[in-house]
Amino acid sequence: MSLRTFAFMRRAQLPFRLATLAVFLGLTLVPLVRPGMFMDGLLYLTVAHNQAHGFGTFWQPRFSQEGLLQQPTFHEHPPLAFGMEAMWFRLFGDAFWVEGAYALAMAVLTGWLLIMLWRMLWDPHRPERAVWWLPVLFWIITPAVHWSIQNHMQENTMAVFTVAAVLCTVRGMRSHGSAWGHFAAVGLLSCAAALVKGPPGLFPIGAPLLWGLFAHRPDLRKALLGTVVATAFLLLCFVLLLSWPEAKTSLMQYAEGRLLHRIDQDPTVDYRWRTLQHLIMALLGPVLLTVIAVLAARRNGQNAALEPGEKALALIAIGLSGVLPLMLTMVQKSFYMVAALPLITTGLAMLAAPQVARWTEAARSTTTQRALVAVGLSALGGVVLSAVLYFGKPSRDAELLNDTALVGTVVPAHSLVSAEQSVLDQWNFQSYLMRYHFISLTGKPGQPFAVTVAGSPGPAGYEPVPLATERIRLWQRAGRGAHAAPMK
């Protein structure tokens, strides 16, 4: 391909880049400018917000004054993502959109890393190199991915480190000189991924070996060396962490109190193949688009999958190495594999890219280009308009958010409020109270304020507080003022 043709090819991609940006923002920005989210993500951002305000530390994060599940500190996961988001809160403040901006930033960073990886995988003058929007599109349309971004799951942060580790792997395998620095970075990034969500973040350690087996078979010695170096630096990181008393205590609390206990006593599925079912369902869209592109190429007498096939297979194998081990335990959820999905979807995009490049080139006439750009700009404008119109309007838990705001106008910050068990079981309500007002709930009676579900009789010795709440009822101890105590 000549330089002139390549430059024209790059210009021909503009409408498809606009459309991909519209899809990306439609699936991320629009939901993220609206308060309300899935319980797990809400717990995580509450812990990070607490840490930003000095309630809890990096190694000993906290959820509330009473803690979670009778544990005063929060060790449901390792602490790195909480620490990162705590810094984000310190930088940008406490507004409801700040956590959404963090989730969007992690998604944008992952997409940028995928583009860098894509450009590295194709020779400079190949037309497929200009189709860098395709891996981003395949990745973001995967339901598990955009659901996790919208709901602030830990896997969003972990994906940044896993994709970066694979990027370093490819750079190391392609380098003609010493590559130990790239492979050392793989080990460090894998350690960071594990410090976000535990063992599922460790799979990039095997990426050099898998890349050597599938994409650079004559370079098996280098691939093996890469995995050895990455593993050595990973182990060095953990040795250093476990020699640090605060870090060791925190990580052991996670491993013993959460990880091993959950695996042994708290299964979430009834058969081991559930993750495979989740994977198939998640990849239906990208797989279908890939099959259509490959069949179209073969119908035209072009074997589109041959040239990128080895690299695509290597990426898919690396991604599967982060998914299949999840079936070793009975603790499986669909979003656990989100940090590995960018690699699988990029592999599928590589198989589809030759035919997609031909399709985009076929649509390069001036009239067609103008029409497609107009469509892309219209879609992008519609997404931005939707984000403006829906800004601040709850996407879920509207009644709980309303009740939280009303309670916060009466109960002082840092208060401990008595609650009946049916209210304590509403973890979203507990999280909203802590996130927006630093109010903790407790099952112990006798606090200046108490809450019950709407319609329940108040505790003895309390009188109702006249608030237009919907799901809960606030009560104040009769004849006593309320004074908040510092959070403990």
Ordered per-residue pLDDT tens for the chain, 488 residues:
444 444 445 567 899 999 999 999 999 999 999 999 989 999 999 999 999 999 999 999 999 999 887 789 999 999 999 999 999 999 999 999 999 999 999 999 999 999 999 999 998 888 999 999 999 999 999 999 999 999 999 999 999 999 999 999 999 998 887 889 999 999 999 999 999 999 999 999 999 999 999 886 667 889 999 999 999 999 999 999 999 999 999 999 999 888 887 776 677 787 788 889 999 999 999 999 999 999 998 887 666 445 678 999 999 999 999 999 999 888 888 899 999 999 999 999 999 999 999 888 877 777 878 888 898 899 999 999 999 999 999 999 999 999 999 999 999 999 999 999 999 999 999 999 999 999 999 999 999 999 999 988 889 999 999 999 999 999 999 875 544 444 55
CA gyration radius, the chain: 25
Question: b or e along 191-218 (b: 16 or more beta carbons within 10 Å of the residue's beta carbon)?
Answer: bbbbbbbbebbbbbbbbbbbbbbbbbee
Return the DSSP state at 338: T
Q: CB under 8 Å to 309, separation ≥6 — which residues? A: 351
Tokens of 274: 């559930």
Give the Cα separation of 401 and 469 in Å (integer): 10
CA 242 to chain centre: 27
Give the Cα separation of 217 and 314 in Å (integer): 11
- Identify the H or E element spanning 279: helix 274-282
Give the Cα separation of 155 and 162 in Å (integer): 10
Instruction: Give me the chain's average pLDDT, please.
Output: 90
Give the Cα separation of 114 and 29 in Å (integer): 19
